Amino acid sequence: ACVFQNNEEDDRKVRRREKNRVAAQRSRKKQTQKADKLHEEYESLEQENTSLKREIGKLTDEMKHLSEVLKDHEKICPLLHCTMNFVTVPRPDALASCLPR
């Protein structure tokens, strides 16, 4: 009876070790997949960040250009030279001379 019991215990230990080994493999695989997914997400976010920085640069340049155009226009704009225009509604003909054709 003792020999039979030892064999049964050994079999249980072997089965338990095998289950543990399989579970550990599964866990490592899952961790690797999670790390791969995070790496892909990181790469994607880096690309998006680079693209957004490029867009910020373009928009900043456009804003500088438009600010210069506005400054130049303010120097010659009849609507801004007449103090009466701040009190009354600007005449359509004066406004038309400021607008691009």
- pLDDT tens by residue, 68-100: 999 999 989 888 765 555 555 555 565 566 666
Whether 91 is covered by a domain: the verdict is: no
Cβ proximity of 74 and 80 under 8 Å: yes
Higher pLDDT, 1 or 79: 79
Residues with Cβ within 8 Å of residue 97, at least 6 apart in sequence: 78
The range of the structural domain enclosing residue 64 comes to: 1-81
- Dihedral sign, Cα of residue 90, residue 94, residue 98, residue 101: positive
What would you measure as the largest C-alpha separation in the chain, in angstroms? Answer: 116
| pLDDT of 6 over the 60 cut | yes
SS3 87: coil
Residue type, 94: A
What length does the chain have? 101
Between CA 7 and CA 14 the distance in angstroms is 10
Number of domains in the chain: 1
pLDDT tens profile 17-66:
999 999 999 999 999 999 999 999 999 999 999 999 999 999 999 999 99
Residue 98 belongs to some domain of the structure: no
pTM for the whole thing?
Answer: 0.56
Report d(CA 97, CA 82) in Å as an integer: 14
Residue 36, phi then psi, degrees to nearest 5: -60, -45
Evaluate whether residue 86 is within a structural domain: no
**pLDDT exceeds 80 at position 101:** no
Task: Please check whether residue 101 lies inside any domain of the structure.
Answer: no
pLDDT given at position 34: 98
